Amino acid sequence: MKLTNYLDGGISPFHVVALSKSELAKNGFEELHMEDSWTLEAGGKYMVDQHGSTLIAFCVPEKKYMLPQKGKAPCLRISASHTDFPCLRIKAKPDLHTEHYGKLNTEVYGGAINATWLDRPLGVAGRVAVASKDAFTPDVRVYDSKRAILTIPSLAIHQDREINKGREFNRQTELIPIFTTKAEEDEFITFLAKELGVDKEDILDFELTCYNAEVAQEVGIYGEMLSAPRIDNISSVAAMTEAMIRGKKCKSVNVAAFFDHEEIGSTTKQGADSMLLSDVVARIYDAFGFSEEDRKRAIYDGFLLSVDVAHAMHPNYPNKVDVTNHPYMNGGFCIKEASGQSYATDCEAIAIVEQIARKKSIRYQKFLNRSDVPGGHTLGVFAAAFLPMRAVDIGVPILAMHSARELMGKEDYDSIEALIEAFYQM
């Protein structure tokens, strides 16, 4: 199952982007840069890597299909997901010592379930900035320890008899990973410098996180479920990438946007709550000589799929789901609705997705939160605010969302990949 390659390899947003770029490049997508002039061709396939952790891929049809046609499908079709996930981020000057133990100073990134990070084999991944001759062009390297070098051991029950009654972990003192029993000064930076083949004085800064080094594994007596780290939201990244790759001749401007920083609010230069996606759309239409009015016509004719995971009904906690809308694993992808617009949906847009699914015989379900249990929000509401087009939130239903290891149904992945492919091609 190709999904597992994305889940196992997507150990940081930088690695997620690199994986998708590699697959897209193998299938004819040419890389562009926002700071360069663009020359685009009808039928061309392109991608833009922004800051290494956000990626926007697109293909363009013949010019006549780039504007609205009465009674026809949208001329601009966008899917969007995110490349980040809850984890532990390593702070600057990370080395901590307690007796002979070497530890790393970390902070929690996103809404992690803290206890699930204990007793796991943890690797380190991200990017490192190394000194260079040009001050404005540091040598930035993507890094992966490629093995588990950290762990956060639990306190034994004999030393905390109340542990099974539930407890809150102090993020500064109790969620700190151990990396050696032979601690020396600047041990981690020395290790990192050796890994990169540089002097430790040349390491200027880094964006490194601890990742669960366990791999995806089928579970269930029929192998029908998948247990893995990072299902939220690398499953959506995989589905969108594969749908773009399998696209034949474009019938519209097809865009796939993979944003960083959704787990911390999206309000960053490479997040969905930025000008990036709308700027890319503008650059596409400018390259073909369309006017601003033409571009705005295309936007208002457009359609956005916000692709992020949903909550499946937990069989041990059935009272945590809505009383009539409770999707389950392997029941099909979810259409996510919220009257408070934490999900970007309305009935007309939902009906469009439902009809695509029905015409292609793709199974789907609907998800709404319990009225007394508020859920999260997705990047769809931000993207649709900059590009005010019809929009729907969809995703695979999963259990253990934001755990260091999550659970999904394999058939649900097939359904959402098929839906996105049909969305681009119908």
- Quick one: 151 and 50 in the same domain? no
pLDDT score, position 346: 87
- Quick one: 193 and 311 in the same domain? no
pLDDT score, position 376: 73
- Quick one: 174 and 293 in the same domain? no
What tokens does 359 get?
């015409």
- Quick one: 170 and 38 in the same domain? no
- Quick one: 115 and 236 in the same domain? no
pLDDT score, position 237: 98
Domain range for 271 is 3-85+230-425
- Quick one: 91 and 165 in the same domain? yes
What tokens does 354 get?
């439902």
**Whole-angstrom distance, CA of residue 256 vs CA of residue 47:** 9
- Quick one: 72 and 95 in the same domain? no
What tokens does 120 get?
């796991």
Number of domain units in the chain: 2
In a domain, 366, yes or no: yes
| Beta strand spans in 99-240 (E) | 101-109, 122-130, 139-144, 178-180, 203-212, 217-219, 225-228
pLDDT score, position 339: 78
First to last CA, the chain: 25
Please give the single-letter amino acid code of residue 358. R
- Quick one: 111 and 19 in the same domain? no
pLDDT score, position 138: 96
**Whole-angstrom distance, CA of residue 388 vs CA of residue 254:** 17
In a domain, 248, yes or no: yes
- Quick one: 258 and 374 in the same domain? yes
- Quick one: 129 and 181 in the same domain? yes
- Quick one: 180 and 99 in the same domain? yes
DSSP state at residue 43 = T
Domain containing residue 242: CATH number: 3.40.630.10
pLDDT score, position 322: 87
pLDDT score, position 340: 74
Beta-ladder partners of 143: 126
Residue partners of 240: CB distance under 8 A and separation at least 6: 79, 81, 256, 258, 307, 420
In a domain, 217, yes or no: no
User: Is the pTM of the predicted complex or chain greater than 0.85?
Assistant: yes
Domain containing residue 117: CATH number: 2.30.250.10
Q: Which parts of the chain register pLDDT below 70?
A: 1
Residue 392, burial from CB neighbour count under 10 angstroms (0-12, 13-18, 19+):
buried
- Quick one: 274 and 403 in the same domain? yes
In a domain, 221, yes or no: no
pLDDT score, position 162: 86
